[in-house]
Chain A
Amino acid sequence: MTDMFGKEVQKENMAMEKRWRDMSSQMLDGGEIISSNESGIELKAVYTPEDINDMDYKEIALPGEYPLTRGNYPLHYQVMPLIMAHGYGFGTAEETRSRREWLTKLGSTLHVGKDEFTTYVLTLDLPTQRGFDPDEPEARGKVGDCGLSISSREDFKALYDGLPINKIFTTLIAIDNTLPVNAAYAAYVLEERNLSLDNLYLVTCNLHHHGWFWDCASFPPATAMKLDVEFIKFVVENCPLSFHGPVDGYNVGEAGATPVQEAAFNLAHTVCLMEECLKVGLDPDDVASKFYAHPHIGMKLFEEIAKFRATRRWWAKTFKEKFGCKRPESWQYRPLVSQTSGIALPAQEALNNIIRTTIMTMAGMLSGLDGMWTSSYDEALGIPTEEAVQLAVRVQQIISEETDITKVSDPLGGSYYIEWLTNRMEEEINKVLKRMEELGGFMKCWETGWIRGEVERAAYDRFKRLEKGEDVKVGMNKYRVEETPQVEAFRVSPEIEDAAVAKVKKYRQERDNAKTRAALEKVREAALRIEKEWPRSCGCLMPALIEAARAGATTGEMHRVMREVFGFGYYSG
C-alpha cells in the first residue's frame, strides 16, 4: 500500500506540525485542548495529511465509484434537486389535503425528469398508528390531533381523487398499522381508481419503528420482523416504482442515541432484515436495490457529514461483499427522507430553531443526501403551523438555490479532517456492530433490551450535560432572557374527532357487513399461517388484507385481528 502523500510532503508536514504544536502549547501555557464529538470521538484542533496518509485513496475514490464514500451518483444535485420530503398530516383527509396544496404552492414538489411529482409524506395520528379506529375508546381525545386519521379506503378518496396516482410519492407513517393502512391505499387504487398496483410510487414505512429501542407496545419482535418481510415482498413483487424500509435512524436518534449508535443500530437492523428476506427466497438485488433510509441529522455538522460518508461506504461494502449484490443500486445507501433532529429544537425562543434547522439541513446537503425533511421551528410546541412549515420549505430552497452548495459533489471530500473522521466513525460503528454480534445479533439485542439500555444511558448523559451547562442550548440554558416573542402552537379543533367518528360509523353501516366479516376471517387465517408456517407462508397476508379493505374492513378491524393472532405488548426486556 502506498502513502497518499510523497516523502517530501510528509517531511515538510512533520516540521510544520511540530511548529504548530509548539505555538499552540504556548497559547495554552503548556496545556492541551481536550475535545470530543457527540459520539465521544476525541478531536484535535487541526488535521493534516499525516492523519490520512496511510489511507488507501481507493477508499475515497469518486462519487458513483465503489465504495461510494463520496456519493452514490457521478452527478447528484447538479442534475437531481434535493427531494423535499416534509412530513405533514392532521385532522381528516380534507384538512391534510389543504396542507398539501399549501406546500405545493410554496414550491415543495419533487421533480423526476420532466415530471412534477407530489409528495404525500403523511404522519398519521396516534390511534391510526396503533391500530384503533376513531370510534374506539383508545382513540378518545386523540383523533386527528397530531397526525391524519385514516380508517378505511374512503379516506384515501379525499386525499387522492383527482391526482395522478403514478405521480404521487406516498409515505404512510403508520407504524404498527403499516400493513392494514397500505392495504387500504391499495384497495382504493384497485377499487376506486381501477388502476393496477404497479402504479404505486410508495415510499413505505416499516412497522417496528420503535419497539426495539423504546418501551412501547408493539407486535412481538419475531412477528414484527416477519410482517416487515411480508410487506417488503409485497412491494418488491407488486410495486416496481416503490421503495421499502425505511432503514430508520431518526427515531433512535430522537430517543437519545449518539450518531455512531444511530448508524450502527440502523445497519445491524438492515442486515437482520435482509437476512430474513433471503430466508423467504427473495432475490438479494430485488430487495437491496429498493431499500431507503430515514436518518437523523443533529447539530454537530462535521460529525454528521462523516457519519453519512462512513455509512455509505459500509453499506456498499456489505451489500456487495456480504450479500453478493450485483446491481449498483443495491450498494447505494439511499436516504430519501433524512430528518433534522427534533430534540435539538427547544421551546424557549423557538425562532432560534430556524437557525438550527438551517445548519442541520446544510449538513445533510454537504453530505449529499437524496431527500430531506427539515423540521419546523415550533417542533417543541406542536405540529407545524402553515407559517412554520413555510420557513422549513424556504430553508431547503434557499440552500439549494441561493448558495453554491449544489454545484460540487462531496465538497468536503479530501479534507484531512473529514476523511479522518469518516474513518473514525466507521471504526466506532464497527465496534458497536461487533459487540452486537457478540451478544447474539440484532434480534437478541432487541429482545433482551440491550439496545434500549444503551439508548437510555446515552439519553440520560445528554440530559445531565444540558443540566450542567456542558451542552449549550442558546437562549435556553445560556444567554437566557425571559422576554421572548410568543409563538402560537398549532391545534386541531375538537370537532374533527366528532366528524371522524361519525364518518367511520356511517362507513360501517353502509358496507356489506357479511362480506366484510368473511374477508376478515380470511385475514385471520392468513395471519395464523404467518404465525405457524413461516417462511413458507410469506406472501399470504398482504393479499388477504387488501381483499379485506376492498370488502370494506377498516384499518382498526384488520389490526385487531392481527393483534389477536400475534399478540401485542411490551417485549424489549
Chain B
Amino acid sequence: MAERKIRVLLSKSDQDAHELNVRYVARVLKDAGMEVIFTRYQIIDDVVKTALEEDVDAIALSYYASGVMYEVPKVMQWLKERNMEDVLVVIGGTLNAAEKSKLLEMGVGAVFTPGVGTVQDVADCIISKVRCR
C-alpha cells in the first residue's frame, strides 16, 4: 500500500501581510511531495478546527513576531484537549532565542528563524518527524 502523502496545514494570520516567505515554504513543501493546505486565519481558534477537519499530520504557523506567544500556547492546549497531540507543530518567523526556547518547551516540534538553515530543512524536518511518529 502506498504511503499516504503527508498533509500539512500551513497557516498565517490574515492581518499579517509579510507572506513572501511562507508562500515559498508552501511551494517547497509541495515539491517535497506533501499536501499543503494554505489558510489565513482570522482568529487562532480557526487553525485547530481546520486541522481536525483536514486530518493533517502537521500544523506549520508563520509569524512576523506579532501574536506568537499568545496563540501557540492556545494551539498546544487545544490539541491536547482533542487528543491530537501526535499532530506535529512547527513554527517559523522572526523569533528571538528566548521565544524559541519557550516554544520548544511547550512541545512545538521545531522552530525556524531567518538565516538559520534553508527552507528545504523545514521540509526535511516535517517529513522525518512525521514518519517517525
| A interface with B by C-beta (< 8 Å) | 125-127, 129-130, 132, 137-138, 140-142, 145-146, 209-210, 214-217, 251, 254-256, 343, 346-348, 380-383, 456, 459-460, 463, 467, 476, 488-489, 491, 494, 570
Contacts and interface: CB of A to CB of B under 8 A. Distances in A.
A516 to B, nearest CB: 25
Given A347-B113, A381-B94, A382-B94, A146 B65 contact: yes
Contacts of A254: 20
Contacts of B20: 254-256, 343, 459
A494 B71 CA distance: 13
A226 to B, nearest CB: 22
Given A127-B15, A348-B114, A460-B27, A381 B40 contact: no
Contacts of B44: 140-141
A459 B70 CA distance: 30
B43 A140 contact: yes
Given A346-B115, A381-B94, A142 B14 contact: no
A130 B67 CA distance: 15
Interface of B is mostly: loop
A138 B70 contact: no
Interface of B: 13-17, 19-20, 23-24, 27, 40, 42-44, 64-71, 94, 96, 113-116, 118-119
Nearest to B73: A141
Given A209-B17, A467-B119, 12 more contacts: A140-B44, A140-B70, A141-B68, A146-B65, A216-B17, A217-B40, A251-B17, A255-B20, A346-B115, A459-B20, A489-B94, A489-B96
Contacts of B17: 209-210, 214, 216, 251
A17 B33 CA distance: 53
Contacts of B67: 126, 140-142, 145
Contacts of B115: 346-348, 380, 476
Contacts of B43: 137-138, 140
Contacts of B116: 347-348
Contacts of B40: 215-217, 570
A251 B19 CA distance: 11
B105 to A, nearest CB: 18
A138 B113 contact: no
A544 B66 CA distance: 32
9 contacts: A126-B16, A140-B71, A214-B17, A214-B19, A346-B115, A347-B94, A347-B115, A381-B114, A467-B118
Contact of B13 (A126, A210, A488, A570): A126
Nearest to B65: A382
A145 B116 CA distance: 24
Contacts of B42: 138
B66 A456 contact: no
Given A130-B15, A146-B64, A380-B114, A141 B69 contact: yes
Q: With a 10 A CB-CB cut-off, give which of B14, B44, B71 has the most chain A CB atoms.
A: B14
B94 A141 contact: no
A217 B43 CA distance: 13
B17 to A, nearest CB: 5
A125 B70 CA distance: 16
Nearest to B27: A460
Nearest to B42: A138
Q: Which 4 A-B pairs have the closest CB atoms?
A: A141-B70, A348-B115, A347-B114, A141-B67
B15 A463 contact: no
A166 B102 CA distance: 47
B34 to A, nearest CB: 17
Nearest to B64: A146
A209 B17 CA distance: 10
B68 to A, nearest CB: 8
Nearest to A129: B15
Given A142-B15, A254-B20, A491 B70 contact: no
A249 to B, nearest CB: 15
B36 to A, nearest CB: 14
B22 to A, nearest CB: 10
A216 B38 CA distance: 12
Given A347-B114, A348-B114, A467-B118, A141 B71 contact: yes
Given A140-B43, A216-B17, A348-B115, A463 B24 contact: yes
Q: With a 10 A CB-CB cut-off, give which of B13, B17, B19, B70 has the most chain A CB atoms.
A: B17
